Structure formats: C-alpha cells, structure tokens
Amino acid sequence: MTQPILHGVPLSPYVRKVRVALAEKGIDYESVPVMPFGPNPEYLAISPLGKIPCYQEGDFTLPDSSCILPYLEKTHPSPALYPSDAKEYARALWYEEYADSKLASICTVPFFQRFVQVKFMGQEADEAAVQKALTEEAPPAFDYLEKELAGREYLAGGQFSVADIATASFFVNMAFGGETVDAGRWPKLADYLERIHGRPSYKAIIEGEKAGLAG
Ligand SMILES: N[C@@H](CCC(=O)N[C@@H](CS)C(=O)NCC(=O)O)C(=O)O
C-alpha cells in the first residue's frame, strides 16, 4: 500500500485527532506540516475548505478529521475506535461533535491568544478573551462533561473511542495555552483527561508536540 500522507501541522487539535487514531491503529504515515489560514492553491485542490487536516493515499484525498477517522475505521477495523452498539455509536459521534464545536471554541482560546497570536501574528495576547473563555464559557461545558463522566471510564460504549480522542485533543491545546482543568471543581474530568492523555498513543504525541514547541 502507498504510504499515507497526513497534511497539517501537529498542533491543530483536528490533526491530532487523526494522529492519535493512526497511532492507535498502528498505521505508518508521512506528515506534511501544512499551516492553516491562507493555504496554497495545491492544498486547496485537495482540501477545498482550506482547513487542516487532509489525509492522502495515492490519488485518494480526504479532508476533515470527522471523515478521516471513519475511513480509517473501515480500512483498519482493529482496534475499534467506534462502539458497535447503535446507541453508543451515536453517543460517541455526539461527543465528537460537542468537542469539535463547543470545546473548540473554549479550549483553544488560551493557546490561540498566547501562542499563535503572539508567535505567528506578531500581536499581543487578548487576555480578556482568554478570561472570558475560562470564566464564562468553560464552566458550563466542563460541568456537562463532569456529569457525563459520572460512573464512566470512557465517554461512550465502555471503550476508548472517537469521543475520547476528540474531547481530549482540545484540552491538549488548552494546556499548551498554560491552562488546566481545576481538579477541585471538576475531579472526574481532570482524572479522565490524565488517563486519556496518559495512553501510549496520546503520551507520545503530546511529548513530540511539546518538544516541537520548546525547540
Ligand atoms: N471540521 C474540520 C475542522 C478543521 C479545522 O477547523 N482546522 C483548523 C486548524 S485547527 C483550520 O484549518 N483552520 C483554517 C480555517 O478555518 O481557514 C475537521 O474536523 O478537520
């Protein structure tokens, strides 16, 4: 089989979702670190929305983490990253959507403001935006996750799934922005994130990204 290519810089939470799935399934790939925002015309030809990630196997190209993960599941079913039970499968998709939309709008703010804005855009961090995300927007979302995790090791199907991959990915960016979940207020969420981020797949990816940030 042609060596797959994953287009997109690793610090993107959506690219990370795919990297974790590839690692869990033991799929080797080449990484092409396309930056988001203003990608070139060749990249737009394979990812028409101009977003990262985009996955490639020879002539086959597929943008969007929420399309790439199901493709990987079909081509490499083991280990399964989607529950087999219909209801748990649907719940896993819901948590993925919740992460990709709601958590994305909260957890990436400290990272975007304090890192991307400063390093790549030459602007000062908007600390008011960071505080708004942390004090107004995060609490209801973290309360929701805390409630959903009651009595559960994983979010859906009693197994590690796309729900956990997506949820945990956004908290990596939050940590890179210098913020963590308050374990006193959200103990289940904090413990869950520590477990998911401690899996060999996630741990290696986070350590690699940290080394990239330090270098
Ligand atoms: N639904 C997409 C979202 C991907 C996405 O928003 N990626 C960001 C980087 S983290 C991006 O490329 N943004 C550039 C833009 O919106 O133009 C997915 O799951 O892959």
Query: Which structural domain range is residue 161 located in?
Result: 86-214
Cα distance between residue 202 and residue 24, in whole Å: 9
Closest ligand 1 atom to Cα of 64: 20
Residue 21 neighbours by CB distance under 10 Å: 22
- Give residue 215's pLDDT band: very low, low, confident or very high (50, 70, 90): confident
Question: What is the pTM for the complete model shown?
Answer: 0.98
Strand order in the sheet with 5-7: 30-32, 5-7, 54-57, 60-63
Q: Is residue 81 part of a domain?
A: no
User: 117 with 71, same domain?
Assistant: no
pLDDT by residue (tens digit) across 60-82?
Answer: 999 999 999 999 999 999 999 99
User: 131 with 167, same domain?
Assistant: yes
Confidence (pLDDT) at 82: 99
Confidence (pLDDT) at 75: 98
Cα dihedral 145, 146, 148, 152, rounded to 10, equals 120
Residues with CB under 6 A from ligand 1: 12-14, 36-37, 50-53, 64-66, 100
- Give residue 39's pLDDT band: very low, low, confident or very high (50, 70, 90): confident
User: 66 with 93, same domain?
Assistant: no
DSSP character for 159? B
CATH of the domain at 177: 1.20.1050.10
User: 183 with 145, same domain?
Assistant: yes
Q: Is residue 80 part of a domain?
A: no
CATH of the domain at 26: 3.40.30.10
If you compute the radius of gyration of the chain from its CA atoms, what whole number of angstroms results?
17
pLDDT by residue (tens digit) across 114-124?
Answer: 999 999 899 99
Placement of tokens 């995060």 in the chain: 138
User: 124 with 207, same domain?
Assistant: yes
User: 104 with 58, same domain?
Assistant: no
